[in-house]
Structure 1
Amino acid sequence: MVLVAAVRDYVSKMLSDIAGMKVFVLDAQTLAIVSVATSQSELLQKEVFLVEKAESTSSEPMTHLKAVCFLRPTAENMQNLKEILGQPRFGEYHLFFSNILKTNFVQNLADFDQHEAVQQVQEFYADFIALDPYHFTLNTPSNHLYMVPLLFDPTKIQPLCERIIEGVSSVFLALKKRPVIRYSRNSEIARRIAQDAARLMYEQEAALFDFRRTEVLPLLLIIDRRDDPVTPLLNQWTYQAMVHELIGIQDNKVDLREYSRVPKDQQEVVLSSEQDPFFRSNMFENFGDLGMNVKKMVDTFQSQHKSNQNIQSLEDMARFVENYPEFRKMQGNVSKHVALMTEMSRLVDERKLMSVSQAEQELACHSSQAAAWDELNAQWELPGVTDDEKLRLAMLYALRYERENPQQLQELVDRLNAGRSKYNSNLLYSLLKQAGEEKRTGDLFSNRDLFNRARTMARGLKGVENVYTQHQPLVFHLIESIVKGRLKDADYPFVGNHAQQGKPQDVVIFIIGGTTYAESRVVALQNAANPGTRVLLGGTVVHNSKSFLRDLEEVQRVGRASIY
């Protein structure tokens, strides 16, 4: 429970060391950081009776409460603290910041505290949202800016770069490690962030990162979403990734309010591997096995429900009352997973996803252009296939065969125009401009060298357990190369003179532009298969196909605006 445990430990320490009734003051980002790692009941156990936002305008004095403030060290929060400490409402203030405090911020805090209400100021390095044990996100706004050339508007792109450096550095401070840093050769923003992160860790804050050295230093590998544009375009068939693709997950919460068949008490549900044992056991299961496991859970619940109905004595009643909270929790879990399965099944049938997804996997994993073209055309003719599916099929075909037949690409654009798609048909060319073969680092389709081609053929000859999960993200091949010590220096150069000797035991792969739940599944399975290496995955956001296409649209809009 590496990342989640780190955040939980920080939250526990800041709340447990302060006795008495407390109010927890959070900003929008630290609220997300805390909410995915702890539950309301856990906060109550720590005597937290109120959670309040830093920008709250309430003026009601509550001097019997102690304020525990957990905030990001931003200019906005400094302004909030100036107002809070100017007229303190609570008896004491304990200030905790999620990252490194600048010297002028510390001086400002001293100036703000005219009433001497502040009892302590500390840095607790939890400046990331730990969605799962090995997966974190930063939830950056304007995520599309990573695709905009750095010289286009530095004032807009600089905050994104700074936020990434702050988030990544806090992960290593929480882990108490200083890494060597490598980056994707073809990505200008990856190079810049890698160099700035190295400057922070090895020069500006060298003393803070001066942890006990290991024989082989940890590795931070910074890559670009454009190196693998295929993974976020694919339909998904394992539980967590599928929920995000079809419905959407935000900070481990699923909003089901627009689905009329869902009961009112299940319209917003939590999918957390920490808080839900069934989800933890099934988050990486494929759709077919998941359906069987949900049925088993329902059967188990029904048998327990029948036994609870058979109350014939005071002992039976006492036993039922004692187990009632657990029974209610199980009832809620059963309803939640049945509701999600029901909606996903409906969407799969409605959008012909079994047929479409098989075609997507063929496009992503096999290399017969003629067969791929025929399959794409066949899918476009199927009734019920949506504009989203048609566009993504066209994009997958374009990424794989962009050099083979330009006339076919133009034909796809014309057909998208003729179909009155809700998307701009030039989005297909925008994708190639952003993430075409010349722009990518690494061997996305495993077809550049003899070793990769042989490995792909061998995998095909052995057969595939599930035709819907044939594709392996680029992250899979990167981890494989790191574990075997084969990651190419030419493709992923080191920053400075910190070249690595030997295979690292700790690896953080950060994807500028966003991760996917398909990639977090790969990381979790690889960690289980390679106990000698621990890989963590992080990114600016967590993508599904809709959010990835939105980013492409935003970049296209920015490009048009710059022309005019």
Structure 2
Amino acid sequence: MVLVTAARDYINRMLQDISGMKVLILDSQTVSVVSVVYSQTELLQKEVFLVELVDSISKSKESMSHLKAIYFLRPTSENIKHLRRQLANPRFGEYHLFFSNMLKDTQIHILADSDEQEVVQQVQEFYADFVASEPYHFTLNIPSNHLYMLPAVVDPSSLQHFSDRVVDGIAAVFLALKRRPVIRYQRTSDIAKRIAQETAKLMYQQESGLFDFRRTEVSPLLLIIDRRDDPVTPLLNQWTYQAMVHELIGIQDNKVDLRNIGKVPKDQQEVVLSSEQDAFFKSNMYENFGDIGMNIKRMVDDFQQVAKSNQNIQTIEDMAKFVENYPEYKKMHGNVSKHVTLVTEMSKIVEERKLMLVSETEQELACNGGQGAAFEAVTNLLNNESISDIDRLRLVMLYALRYEKESPVQLMQLFNKLASQSAKYKPGVTLPNYHWLPASTSSDCSKPVIFALSIYSMRKFLLVQFLLKQAGVDKRTGDLYGNRDFLNIARNMARGLKGVENVYTQHQPLLFHTMESITKGRLRDVDYPFVGNHFQQGRFGAL
């Protein structure tokens, strides 16, 4: 069972078993859960005539006793408080309470005590505490979650809240899939270890009965890792359709906001990109940018043929056929316009930022090992005034990650170049020591460096320095560049001999090789230990 189907099944069960006119009441997180798998049209078909947020309902006193209220909420203390107030003065004829995760006994008692007028018809747990943006991809929509990889810079209470939310989300996914996994984690990550241990405690001790599912031949594996093992992938510009839209424009809950990109028709200012609702997107979401352009042209040509044939209305039968086919015609028109708009806007960005030029060097930094050529290529791009500040910074970061041990002096030269381009303020700003430079490199390398820097330049320096401190070679578990392990070296040599089909998409994320190691039983226990004694011999699947 895939995740979209699991989430849809839960929502179907909520809505179809309750007859009559309904109001669906959500919180700020469950509204995302519902919106990615259920359309407004589908809600209307289930007789849902109103959708409200739980905190908005608390502010209104209008009686709607003709409606049945379906609440779908996360079991948070804040939501329980809202329910207490609303049950004390009920506005709806019936209350059906569904929670996206496990309720505590104390919360159940609070709800029971609050229902003095006995309007609550049912209380159930439906484990859809995740946003299923794709059949095999979910998110928890946690803002700034990268900060939690660094426990030292996060308030302990915030860290606990983050950890609890991640554990809850993971638990809901496995409850929806009716599986209990074997759990492993990245040894070098404190937060990965913490989440793995708390998840195991929940599944194997606190709620072991709830997770007591029939064992399958292939045991599911839950592997907890953090971004520090692969800081390269998010620094690279992407060249496949879905990834490009997200990188250059932004996707949130399968929606793309186009209001700030220029003149766009009102019906195109927010568009949906969902593989479940858009056949063209489903077929092309992983295609590279060059192929996307050709595929969209074919779609436009097909649409023009349909539009032309529809205009040839000569008889009553032709008119009736046109009216019968009009909804599909209108849907096709919207789909064509959406994809043409997206590709047109991305083409503008690619040209303005010279991303093809930038990306070629990025891919060389990520995939090949020629330090001298890399230094020259990055230097040339830093000198190019058409390259944006963010792309310059990313290039220096990629170089720093690749050659932090091999060429510290050249790295300092690149940073001098990066910093000097925005030197507009008073000279004499003293930077802290370069932590990646060993004192023995030269007599000057261990001393503070003086630059005429703007505040922005200082920030760029600190970002590069912080990146190496948190995700440099000494902090990483895996063989990020494939130059330590014999099998990785052999694979890279073979790829070099065969050539690369597309220079812009030659990089493979470390996660790809990690998954490959899992399926072949080669993931090292010392790097990715099992939690407790839940190790099981045999084959493993992975989530």
TM-score exceeds 0.5: yes
Please name the residue that 1:2 is paired with: 2
Please state if 1:128 is matched with 2:164: no
The answer (yes or no) to whether the contact 2:127–2:175 under 8 Å persists in 1 is yes
Please name the residue that 2:79 is paired with: 77
Q: CA deviation at 1:382?
A: 2.2
1:512-540 alpha-carbon deviations (Å, 9 max, x no partner)? xxxxxxxxxxxxxxxxxxxxxxxxxxxxx
1:337-416 matches, cutoff 5 A: 337-416=339-418
Q: Aligned letter for 1:111? A: D
Paired residue secondary structure (1:424): helix
The answer (yes or no) to whether the contact 1:413–1:426 under 8 Å persists in 2 is no
Please name the residue that 1:485 is paired with: 521
Q: Aligned letter for 1:270? A: V
Q: CA deviation at 1:14?
A: 0.7
Q: Aligned match of 2:264 in 259, 262, 265?
A: 262
Please name the residue that 2:426 is paired with: none
Please name the residue that 1:53 is paired with: 53
Please state if 1:426 is matched with 2:468: no
Structure 2 CA distance for aligned equivalents of residues 499 and 150 of structure 1: 31
The answer (yes or no) to whether the contact 1:228–1:444 under 8 Å persists in 2 is yes
Paired residue secondary structure (2:522): coil
Structure 2 CA distance for aligned equivalents of residues 10 and 276 of structure 1: 22
Q: Aligned match of 1:448 in 484, 496, 501?
A: 484
Please name the residue that 1:288 is paired with: 290
Structure 2 CA distance for aligned equivalents of residues 61 and 150 of structure 1: 50
Q: CA deviation at 1:114?
A: 1.5
Distance 1:238 1:192, change over 3 A: same
Please name the residue that 2:41 is paired with: 41
Please name the residue that 2:446 is paired with: none
The answer (yes or no) to whether the contact 1:219–1:504 under 8 Å persists in 2 is yes
Please name the residue that 1:189 is paired with: 191
Please name the residue that 1:15 is paired with: 15
The answer (yes or no) to whether the contact 1:98–1:124 under 8 Å persists in 2 is yes
1:208-253 alpha-carbon deviations (Å, 9 max, x no partner)? 0000012342100000111111111100000000001111111111
Q: CA deviation at 1:424?
A: 3.0
Number of aligned residues: 507
Structure 2 CA distance for aligned equivalents of residues 448 and 70 of structure 1: 50
The answer (yes or no) to whether the contact 2:129–2:168 under 8 Å persists in 1 is yes
Paired residue secondary structure (1:55): helix
Please state if 1:463 is matched with 2:499: yes
Q: Aligned letter for 2:72? A: F
Q: CA deviation at 1:409?
A: 2.5
Percent of paired sites with the same residue: 67
Q: Aligned letter for 1:474? A: L
Q: Aligned letter for 1:325? A: P
1:160-175 matches, cutoff 5 A: 160-175=162-177
Paired residue secondary structure (1:258): coil
Q: Aligned letter for 1:441? A: T
Unaligned runs of 5+ in 2: 423-455
Structure 1 CA distance for aligned equivalents of residues 536 and 398 of structure 2: 36
Structure 1 CA distance for aligned equivalents of residues 419 and 382 of structure 2: 14
Q: CA deviation at 1:407?
A: 2.1
1:378-399 alpha-carbon deviations (Å, 9 max, x no partner)? 2122231000100000000001
Q: Aligned match of 1:303 in 296, 305, 308?
A: 305
Structure 2 CA distance for aligned equivalents of residues 359 and 156 of structure 1: 39
Structure 2 CA distance for aligned equivalents of residues 78 and 410 of structure 1: 55
The answer (yes or no) to whether the contact 2:382–2:417 under 8 Å persists in 1 is no
Structure 2 CA distance for aligned equivalents of residues 486 and 64 of structure 1: 61
Structure 1 CA distance for aligned equivalents of residues 370 and 540 of structure 2: 38
Q: CA deviation at 1:361?
A: 0.3
Structure 2 CA distance for aligned equivalents of residues 118 and 188 of structure 1: 43
Q: Aligned letter for 2:206? A: Q
- Is 213-222 or 404-413 further displaced after alignment? 404-413
Unaligned runs of 5+ in 1: 509-564
Q: Aligned letter for 2:302? A: T
Paired residue secondary structure (2:523): coil
1:491-521 alpha-carbon deviations (Å, 9 max, x no partner)? 110001111312223x12xxxxxxxxxxxxx
TM-score, structure 2 length as denominator? 0.92
The answer (yes or no) to whether the contact 1:482–1:503 under 8 Å persists in 2 is no
Q: Aligned letter for 1:199? A: K
The answer (yes or no) to whether the contact 2:393–2:460 under 8 Å persists in 1 is no
TM-score, structure 1 length as denominator? 0.88
The answer (yes or no) to whether the contact 2:184–2:530 under 8 Å persists in 1 is yes
The answer (yes or no) to whether the contact 2:147–2:154 under 8 Å persists in 1 is no
Please name the residue that 2:452 is paired with: none
The answer (yes or no) to whether the contact 1:145–1:157 under 8 Å persists in 2 is no
Q: Aligned match of 2:212 in 203, 210, 218?
A: 210
Q: Aligned match of 2:333 in 331, 334, 337?
A: 331
Q: CA deviation at 1:145?
A: 2.7
Paired residue secondary structure (2:23): strand
Q: Aligned letter for 2:25? A: V
Q: CA deviation at 1:45?
A: 1.1
1:260-302 alpha-carbon deviations (Å, 9 max, x no partner)? 1322321111100011111011100100110000000100000
The answer (yes or no) to whether the contact 1:182–1:222 under 8 Å persists in 2 is yes
Please name the residue that 1:555 is paired with: none
Please state if 1:496 is matched with 2:498: no
The answer (yes or no) to whether the contact 1:14–1:68 under 8 Å persists in 2 is yes
Structure 2 CA distance for aligned equivalents of residues 151 and 350 of structure 1: 37
Q: Aligned letter for 2:303? A: F
Please name the residue that 1:437 is paired with: 473
If asked which structure has higher relative contact order (CA below 8 Å, sep 6+), I would say 1
Q: Aligned letter for 1:222? A: I
Q: CA deviation at 1:448?
A: 1.1
Q: CA deviation at 1:463?
A: 1.1
Structure 2 CA distance for aligned equivalents of residues 375 and 417 of structure 1: 17
Q: Aligned letter for 1:443? A: D
